[in-house]
A and B are shown apart, each in its own frame.
Chain A
Amino acid sequence: MSGADLWSLAPLIVPALAGTLVMLLGGFNANRRLHHGLAVGALAAALLCVGMAYGTAPRTVTPLLIIDSYALFFLTLIYAATGLLAMFARPYLAVREKDTDAFYALLLFAATGMGVLACSNHFAALFLGLEILTVSLYTLIGYLREDSRSLEAAAKYLVLAALSSSFLLFGIALVYAATGTLLLNPAFRAIADLAPQFGQQAEAAWALAGGIFLFVGFAFKLALVPFHMWSPDVYQGAPAPVTALIATGSKGAVLAVLLRAVGPVGLGEIGGAAGITVLAVLTMFGGNLLALLQDDLKRLLAYSSVAHLGYVMVALLAGGVAGAQAMTFYVLAYVLTTLGAFGVVTILSSESPCEADSLAAYRGIGWRRPWLAATLAVMILSLAGIPPTAGFLAKVAVLGAAIEAGRLGLAIAMALASGVAIYFYLRVIVVMYMQEEEDATEASSLPSSFANAVALLVLVALVIAIGLHPTPWFEAVRVAVATILPA
């Protein structure tokens, strides 16, 4: 490995080193502000390194990792999201009087793990990145040790994530046995070549079984129906900033590697399109129908993100360059929107040690806390796919890709599923604006922390800017996707 390789890897090395530093510092110094500053600073530095790495991209560093503009696009998204939620986490942890060293160290490690996923070119890197991410998440989810729900969520996540990792690992072993390669693209291409010979060649059976195991592993991580059972409990029990991380960065990173692995080959080629179509439809309707029943905002958002992953699967099924672009654009919009929504949840949970997750906690905040409520309303409208927000254009892009690929049935299913979703998204707005509050507490219009107010403002501005003027964002997505899927 040369010095230039190390420079290219800087976006991954910086957060890893900073995480270690915060962990070491924690032994001597319990200054929350310092840990927080280090974490946010490290992520900002990592973003800077991402910017510099554009100069040397694309560059394959060892067979494991590839730093191309596709990876850098997702690294930007992941680090920006992690940095913002590190900012949201500060008052949240302060009000709970928790030690912060381990939290920020784990957050940085999780960021590293997600970064490795986004850059991985090889099953080993994929598995490594995934484990760095999930091991950090086990601890982060259970970070509120006194809260039984937090512990329950951590235990649940531990069991299911370990199970899904073993699926993934077994799938990798089978694929390796069948194809003899661990490089992502060649392996999936080999599966695609072998799949039609099912029944004639033993390798074909292994390859298919391996592919199915791999997909089940991914489906667990992405919480596709029927592998979604863990997601509402974990979303509800985890501390709000960690929930935000699970919903945004970790999903984004897994989708990044999934698209890189499968996109150039096409799901249809691998022979799983029919099964995955059923899964996507189940996920869209399942997520949205179950969300109808929720009285807890975090659970509601959990089911809503289940459904959104279903929409992402529609884009993946559409395939081709248009499908990949639509999928990437959707992930961009979804991450920004979900981050904004959980940002508001985190800020409201930072005002008292109890979590602001039940919908009743939001009653009447439209008039009591106009700015926060307006932010949440914009995010909800974006999740519902109503103009002029990023979520709307993302939905149009996915529907368009599906129709262009001739999957009209899938597009109609998606349209109907998002029609179902309107009801529960509107419920949140009803609670905020249309129900009288029971006890009017003192009015304070802005979030407690100035930095967080700015962070939320930036997210709102981005969500609306993408909705009104998407061209630069489409262009960024086009450039990113072109490196894995030349037109």
Chain B
Amino acid sequence: MSPQILTALIAVPLTGGGLAVILGRRSDDAARWVSLLAALLTVALAATLWFGFQETLPAAQGPVLEQRISWIPRYGIEFHLALDGLNLLFVILTACLGTVAVLISWREVTRAVGAHYLCIMATVAGIMGVFLAYDLFLFYFFWELMLVPMYFLIGVWGHERRIAAAIKFMIFTMVSGLLLLVAILTLYYAHGAATGNYTMDYTRLLGTQIGLSTARWIFLGFVAAFAVKLPLFPLHTWLPDAHTEAPTAGSILLAGLLLKTGGYGLIRFAVPLFPDAAASLATPLAVLGVIGIIYGAILAYSQRDLKRMVAYSSVSHMGFVMLAVAVWQITALQGAVMQMLAHGVATGAMFAIAGMIQERLHTRDFSELGGLWSKVPKLSAFALLFVLASVGLPGFGNFVGEFLILLGSFPVTPMLVAGGVLGIVLGTIAMLALMQRTFYGPSRNAAVIADLSPREVLALGILAVAAVVLGLLPQPFLRAAEPSLAGIISQSIPFNPADPEVGLDVLRTAAENTADFSLQPPSDPTGAEIAPASRVPVAESAVGLTGTNPGVTTESSPGSAHAIPASARAGNEETGS
């Protein structure tokens, strides 16, 4: 298969968006159709990749398709895109949700339609780039690039407090992004100084040997950017505002795709590049993830606004991804991938439904909703389906994701898994409350409203099918991601745990200069402020990274992991039956 198809995945949406603006000057419908066409073409490209690589994916640990063009040779930067099982899944998700976003905003947006579609398509293109980039600079380039159209999407077409939300979103993501940039450059120069090969190439930067204290700082720079996107408690505060104020298409892209770039970045870049640092900081990250699970669920319950409630439930769901990454064990990571795909579908659909309700009733406030089932049965049925998917009912992808994460994490850190289960219960209460407040009970609104149009049925139908397929037939997706994840895990073995201070001169000086700026040295994550009880998992998860995870059957030990552990297989088959 021609590697240009990877560039096409980025170029097609971008071209479609450009055409939408040009044609949109004449007619709004032309802008809509050309965007839809571009989105469908992107789906077709993604599908070609999926079916084209069915045979090769399970065997390949590395990329199955690569495109590299020299871009900025002065800095060893290449336009390097690569496809493996992991990012293929996200590419498909991006293509599908892009199409749904186009369909959803068909009638909602009436002002500057062409520009609106340009923003949607440019965001989709940027996200594609983030998932496909194998060059750290290129990755950062797309990482920043996708923010600008999203900012316009929220700020121009959003709801009442859109400007504040847009600015908050941009500042959180840009500031954390700048830290990521400094971290990337530090890694780049450390690698260059050590090997004489100045490159931004991801595969070559893997295994760069950096002293633990420095690596921890760089790792935190990566984590800062990814944790804001994920979002990790307590960096989540931009999310409810941005999701709530964004137009429906913006909310779908945010919840469905942008958050996933955070999880993807952690799995692809942050941990594999700095395995030691990740191991030493695993406990605080896992604890924050579990706090996010519980905190998000509690806050979701107490919201009065439909979109805010879904937004907080996202905080809760994405906490699981952080837990899985902190545990760094193949079953959990497969769960994390499943969780991200399923959450993208289900939450995207919930935001679409919220948008449809808003379009019809001009409110998202629970005090004005209620009793919608009798008025809009089709819409309500879809809502019930996606609420059940969100709470992790067996039969939906979210169940598979959460189950695998908990299963993989339990041997490493049973206490935190217990916390996560508590969060699931709380999240279920919240989502059922949402259902109750919106669709059941007495109607508080006399307005006569129309049920779903065929276009809306199509948009939600795509997502419903996706949610069920992910739940009932997860094996193809798990199998696609597995070799890539195994490869990533096997690359992430700490290089020399016995002697972590193999420093590099350039970074020594760098660290000293940092000290000049009176930045505190990294506080010891296993230090006194962490209770002794939670220190145990640190050691264990660190051990998990070295490949002798005590709790899981030996065939799943990461160094030699090529298959899903038997326990996980069993779990999947149970789900499938």
Contact = CB atoms under 8 A, between A and B. Distances in A.
B74 A471 contact: yes
B182 A411 contact: yes
Interface in A419-446: 419, 422-423, 426-427, 429-430, 433-435
A474 B72 contact: yes
Interface in B112-142: 112, 137, 141
Contacts of A392: 144
Given A386-B144, A404-B506, A412-B519, A396 B156 contact: no
Contact of A406 (B148, B167, B510): B510
Given A388-B145, A430-B163, A408 B510 contact: yes
Contact of A409 (B178, B188, B514): B514
Nearest to A413: B517
Interface on chain B toward A: helix, strand, loop, or mixed SS? helix
A353 B179 CA distance: 45
B195 interface: no
Nearest to B512: A406
A400 interface: yes
B516 A409 contact: yes
Given A387-B145, A434-B163, A474-B72, A423 B171 contact: yes
A418 interface: yes
Interface string B502-541: 0000100111111111010000000000000000000000
Contacts, number: 107
A429 B141 CA distance: 21
A434 to B, nearest CB: 4
Interface string A346-374: 00000000000000000000010000000
A431 to B, nearest CB: 10
A416 interface: yes
A404 B506 CA distance: 7
Interface string B173-185: 0110011011001
B155 interface: yes
B189 interface: yes
Given A406-B506, A409-B514, A410-B513, A416 B178 contact: yes
B42 interface: no
B106 interface: no
Nearest to B217: A408
Interface in B183-199: 185-186, 188-189
Interface residues of B, number: 42
A409 B517 CA distance: 6
Nearest to A430: B163
B166 interface: yes
B145 A415 contact: no
Contacts of B454: none
A408 B72 contact: no
Interface string A379-395: 00100001110001100
B160 to A, nearest CB: 12
Contact of A422 (B171, B181, B189): B171
A418 B513 CA distance: 20
A434 B155 contact: yes
A17 interface: no
Nearest to B25: A370
Interface on chain A toward B: helix, strand, loop, or mixed SS? helix
Contacts of A416: 175, 178
Nearest to B214: A408
A90 B536 CA distance: 74
A407 interface: yes
Contact of A426 (B74, B145, B167): B167
A399 interface: yes
A396 B151 contact: no
A452 to B, nearest CB: 23
A153 B144 CA distance: 39
B56 to A, nearest CB: 33
Nearest to B188: A400
A400 B170 contact: no
A43 B182 CA distance: 40
A403 interface: yes
A407 B513 contact: yes
Contacts of B72: 393, 470-471, 474
Contacts of A471: 72-74
B32 interface: no
B233 interface: no
A412 B514 contact: yes
A411 B185 contact: yes
Given A406-B506, A474-B74, A387 B144 contact: yes
A322 to B, nearest CB: 10
B510 A422 contact: no
B162 interface: yes
B178 A419 contact: yes
B113 to A, nearest CB: 13
Nearest to B513: A409
A191 to B, nearest CB: 24
Given A403-B182, A422-B171, A426-B170, A412 B112 contact: no
Contacts of B517: 409-410, 412-413
A419 B519 contact: no
Interface in B460-514: 506, 509-514
Contacts of B181: 396, 399, 415
Contacts of B75: 400
A406 B155 contact: no
A400 B189 contact: yes
B152 interface: yes
A403 B185 contact: yes
Nearest to A325: B74
B179 A403 contact: no
B531 to A, nearest CB: 31
Nearest to A367: B112
A392 to B, nearest CB: 7
Contacts of B148: 381, 386
A475 to B, nearest CB: 8
Contacts of A430: 155, 163, 166-167
Given A399-B181, A430-B167, A433-B152, A408 B514 contact: yes
Given A409-B517, A422-B174, 9 more contacts: A386-B145, A386-B147, A386-B174, A396-B137, A396-B185, A408-B182, A412-B514, A426-B151, A433-B156
Q: Which 10 A-B pairs have the closest CB atoms?
A: A409-B517, A406-B509, A419-B175, A408-B510, A415-B178, A434-B155, A409-B513, A422-B174, A409-B514, A474-B74
21 contacts: A367-B112, A387-B141, A387-B145, A392-B144, A396-B181, A396-B185, A400-B75, A400-B189, A408-B182, A408-B514, A409-B519, A411-B182, A411-B185, A411-B186, A415-B178, A415-B179, A415-B181, A426-B167, A426-B170, A426-B171, A471-B72
Interface of A: 367, 381, 386-388, 392-393, 396, 399-400, 403-404, 406-413, 415-416, 418-419, 422-423, 426-427, 429-430, 433-435, 470-471, 474, 478
